[in-house]
Chains A and B, each alone.
Chain A
Amino acid sequence: MFDWGAPIRNLDLLMQGLVVTLQVATLSFVFAFALGLVGALARRSHFWPLRFVATVYVEVIRNTPVLLQIFVIFFGLPSVGIRFDAVTAGIIALSVNSGAYLTEIIRAGIQSISRGQIEAAIALGLTPAQIFGRVVFPQALRNIYPPVVNQFIMVLLGSSLLSAIAVPDLTGNALVVNSRTYRTVEVFTFVTLVYAGLTLTASGLLNLLGRLLFPRATAR
Chain B
Amino acid sequence: MIEMKQVQKHFGSLHVLKGVDLHVRPGEVVVIIGPSGSGKSTLLRTINYLEPIEKGEIWVDGTPVHQHKDLRQVRSKVGMVFQQFNLFPHLNALQNVVLAPTLVLKKSREEADEKGRALLTKVGLEQKAEAYPGQLSGGQQQRVAIARALAMDPKIMLFDEATSALDPELVGEVLAVMRQLASDGMTMVVVTHEMGFAREAADRVVFMDEGVIMEEGAPDDIFSNPQNPRTKQFLRRVLEK
Q: Are B72 and A134 in touch, CB under 8 angstroms?
A: no
B 83-97 binary contact with A (CB < 8 Å = 1; else 0): 010111111000000
Q: How far is the CA of A139 from the CA of B87 in the complex (A)?
A: 12
Interface positions, chain B 19-78, Cβ under 8 Å from A, are: 48, 50, 72-73, 75-76, 78
| Residue from the set A122, A124, A135 with the largest chain B CB neighbour count within 10 Å | A124
A residues less than 8 Å from B149 (CB atoms)? 123-124
Given contacts A138-B90, A139-B90, A219-B89, contact A125 B104 (CB under 8 A): yes
A residues less than 8 Å from B148 (CB atoms)? 124
B75 interface neighbour in A114, A124, A217, A220, Cβ under 8 Å? A124
Give min CB distance, A128 to chain B, whole Å. 10
Q: Are B89 and A130 in touch, CB under 8 angstroms?
A: no
Given contacts A123-B75, A124-B75, A124-B104, contact A117 B88 (CB under 8 A): yes
Q: Are B134 and A220 in touch, CB under 8 angstroms?
A: yes
Given contacts A123-B80, A217-B132, A218-B132, contact A116 B86 (CB under 8 A): yes
B82 within 8 A of A: yes
Could you tell me how many residues of chain A have their Cβ less than 8 Å away from some Cβ of chain B?
Answer: 24
Q: Are B86 and A127 in touch, CB under 8 angstroms?
A: no
B99 interface neighbour in A119, A134, A142, A218, Cβ under 8 Å? A134
| Residue from the set A123, A134, A138, A217 with the largest chain B CB neighbour count within 10 Å | A123
B residues less than 8 Å from A135 (CB atoms)? 88
Interface positions, chain A 125-153, Cβ under 8 Å from B, are: 125-127, 130, 134-135, 138-139, 142
Q: Are A126 and B84 in touch, CB under 8 angstroms?
A: no
Q: Are B84 and A116 in touch, CB under 8 angstroms?
A: yes
Q: Are B75 and A142 in touch, CB under 8 angstroms?
A: no
Q: Are B86 and A119 in touch, CB under 8 angstroms?
A: yes
A120 within 8 A of B: yes
Q: Are A217 and B134 in touch, CB under 8 angstroms?
A: yes
A residues less than 8 Å from B103 (CB atoms)? 126, 130, 134
Q: How far is the CA of A124 from the CA of B103 in the complex (A)?
A: 10
A residues less than 8 Å from B132 (CB atoms)? 215, 217-218
Q: Are A125 and B100 in touch, CB under 8 angstroms?
A: yes
Q: Are B104 and A220 in touch, CB under 8 angstroms?
A: no
Q: How far is the CA of A122 from the CA of B73 in the complex (A)?
A: 11
A 205-220 binary contact with B (CB < 8 Å = 1; else 0): 0000000001101111
Q: How far is the CA of A37 from the CA of B150 in the complex (A)?
A: 34
Interface positions, chain B 159-183, Cβ under 8 Å from A, are: none
B135 within 8 A of A: yes
Q: How far is the CA of A220 from the CA of B134 in the complex (A)?
A: 6
A residues less than 8 Å from B76 (CB atoms)? 124-125
Give min CB distance, B91 to chain A, whole Å. 8
Please name the residue on chain A nearest to B74 by beta carbon. Answer: A125
B residues less than 8 Å from A116 (CB atoms)? 82, 84, 86
Q: Are B89 and A124 in touch, CB under 8 angstroms?
A: no
A residues less than 8 Å from B134 (CB atoms)? 217-220
Please name the residue on chain B nearest to A216 by beta carbon. Answer: B134
A residues less than 8 Å from B86 (CB atoms)? 114, 116-117, 119-120
B residues less than 8 Å from A142 (CB atoms)? 90
Q: Are A122 and B89 in touch, CB under 8 angstroms?
A: no
Given contacts A127-B72, A217-B135, A219-B134, contact A122 B88 (CB under 8 A): no
| A/B interface sample: 21 pairs, CB < 8 A | A116-B86, A117-B86, A120-B87, A120-B88, A120-B145, A122-B50, A123-B48, A125-B75, A125-B104, A126-B72, A127-B72, A134-B103, A138-B90, A139-B88, A139-B89, A139-B90, A142-B90, A217-B131, A217-B132, A218-B89, A219-B134
**8 residue pairs, one from A and one from B, having the closest CB atoms:** A125-B76, A120-B86, A124-B100, A123-B80, A217-B132, A116-B86, A125-B75, A125-B104
